[in-house]
Amino acid sequence: MRKLLLFTTLFIFTSFVNAQNPNIVFVLVDDLGYGDLGYTGAKDIPTPNIDQLANQGTKFTSAYAVHPFCGPSRMGLITGRYPHEFGAQFNLADNSSVTKGIPANQRMMSNMFQDAGYRTGLVGKWHLGSESQYHPNNRGFDDFYGFLYGGHRYFPAEYKAAYNGPNSWVYNHPLEHNGTIVTDDDEYITDELSHQGVRFINESVAANKPFFLFMSYNAPHSPLEAKTEDMNVDVIKDIANLDRRKYAAMVYAVDRGMKEIVDALKAKNVYNNTLIIFMSDNGGSLKFAANNGPLSGQKGDTLEGGFRVPTFFHWPNNVPAGVNYDYPITALDFYPTFAHLAGATIQPNKDLDGLNIWNHVVAGTNARNDNEIIMSVRHDNASNRVGIRRGDWKAYRLNNNQDWKLYNLKNDIGETTNLSATNPTILSELKSAGAFIVKDFAEPLWFHSTNAESAWNNNNMPNFEATFGEALSIDDENMFENSRFSFYPNPVKSKINFTINNANSNMSDVILYDLQGRIIQSIQNLKQDKNNSFTLQLLPNIPNGVYMAKVKNSKSVFAYRIVVSK
């Protein structure tokens, strides 16, 4: 929500310092289906180690990736922003001639951890730029072992032979460690990555530093390549479909890696001071034998199966154990939440689209108020796929030629019954909230293919007018042209006044937002005191800080930054 944050450069936000400064191990798997873990319902994929961690932690049943594809999902996760806001809404093309990457001015959580005194490591997939200035070692990671592109093949003998042959596909590129090509990789890649995660943990403990480990497994992303021994374990060996059997074996290998990670944490006596997060970067691909369980849709969709993903937190004695957290959260929430846990400073010019959810997760309360949405937008050739979640409600549009649909996910997790006709106001509110966010989206800095680029240019994309209609045309063009508007005093103690030249209305609505876009106070139909002048009493419990006041009357919308200083 960049517009809301335009005026915030004076404000320095420092989270609470957590005395423990926990280690953080973030395990991101690639294209895992919502229903493809034991604890999420899989009967044909044994994941005992993942299940144990999940069941001893807090399981998020409504956790969302930022985007239903790999690259933009990761770009959102690591920057804490909708990637569309800085032109990163498409995958980087999977070829070694790509010269683009996340712009240097987009600060990553790895930078935040480094500045807070953490040792930072990335193991596995990057996919956020391969040139030097975009390389993980230049984007906040002290240690990087893995590959720079969108995926990789799994067996060293096969990818090394292919790379040295005519097929220089990036999935065959050599692995690297801090910019140096690795030659001694001789294990199935999931196992290799797990061992490297253990190495990083051991080195970090030896260095006596808190650490952030980003375990970025490419499994179970295609190509489907599994170890024979994993395909022959109980349950998996009975799967009739060969692709599903390979997929299950690939997930099983990740589960083995999770045990190695946990064993390493215990061996170094840091298990009790480590937050483990497990998540998938987007929904499973049905073409590659994933199962999204009760959810409709798959990777690439803005139905739930595209971006609602299996997710849990585990931290003994700090994260509630054995509970579900059913309120919606998004990967955008992790940057501010981790900053809170790490005692890190969020830079004054850092825009964030998520929330620090920590205290709500611990308390089991909703981190979002009744007005806050979680959204995913995927550009699809000449149109947009959109999903907007608020509370139990989900607004969905497949493309500009289909009508908006509205689902109540509490009763209808599979998105089967369209309730838009009976709840038009709710649909309208969700569309308006989504339109407010997409107005900040930027032109793409890159496309995953020349076809995608042609489609964008030939169809006047992003073409949000066709997607959001009237919701997009709500007049906020003059939100920041405040010449007809004044607000005083500023700083504000308890009462603020504003005047609107030619108010055209003797009533106004006023909404106060905090810097994360949360509504702090909302007043409907505030009456004029005298000519064009209004007085608003602030709620007594509003903390000192910087807020945005949005004032709306029948003709116009205005916004103003106010500083509350009591």
Interacting residue ranges for Ca ion, rule: CB under 5 A: 30-31, 70, 281-282
Residue nearest to Ca ion (CB): 70
For the question of residue 127 being annotated catalytic, the response is yes
Pairwise CA distance, residues 143 & 124, whole Å:
11
Q: Which amino acid type is present at position 566? A: K
* Least distance between Ca ion and beta carbon 564 (Å): 42
* Least distance between Ca ion and beta carbon 221 (Å): 6
Strand 545-552: give its sheet, edge to edge: 485-488, 495-500, 533-537, 519-530, 507-513, 545-552, 557-564
| Cβ-proximal residues to 287 (8 Å cutoff; 6+ apart), any chain | none
Pairwise CA distance, residues 485 & 487, whole Å:
7
Q: What does residue 358 show for φ and ψ, rounded to 5 degrees? A: -55, -55
Q: What does residue 277 show for φ and ψ, rounded to 5 degrees? A: -120, 135
Residues across the chain: 566
* Least distance between Ca ion and beta carbon 71 (Å): 8
Give yes or no for a contact between 546 and 563, defined as CB atoms under 8 angstroms apart. Answer: yes
Is the CB of 290 or the CB of 546 nearer to Ca ion?
290
Do you find a cis peptide bond into 220, omega within 30 degrees of 0? yes
Is the CB of 91 or the CB of 337 nearer to Ca ion?
91
Is the CB of 303 or the CB of 496 nearer to Ca ion?
303
Is the CB of 31 or the CB of 353 nearer to Ca ion?
31
Is the CB of 65 or the CB of 201 nearer to Ca ion?
65
Pairwise CA distance, residues 120 & 215, whole Å:
11
**48 to 1, 92, 256, 336, 479: CA distances (angstroms):** 40, 35, 9, 31, 53
Select which of 70, 152, 314, 360 is catalytic. 70
For the question of residue 70 being annotated catalytic, the response is yes
Pairwise CA distance, residues 452 & 68, whole Å:
16
Burial (CB < 10 A; 0-12, 13-18, 19+), residue 32, is buried
Pairing of strands 176-177, 143-147: antiparallel
Give yes or no for a contact between 47 and 249, defined as CB atoms under 8 angstroms apart. Answer: no
Burial (CB < 10 A; 0-12, 13-18, 19+), residue 523, is middle
* Least distance between Ca ion and beta carbon 31 (Å): 4
Is the CB of 31 or the CB of 85 nearer to Ca ion?
31
Is the CB of 45 or the CB of 564 nearer to Ca ion?
45
Tokens 């209305």 belong to which residue? Answer: 505
As annotated, the active-site residues are 70, 127
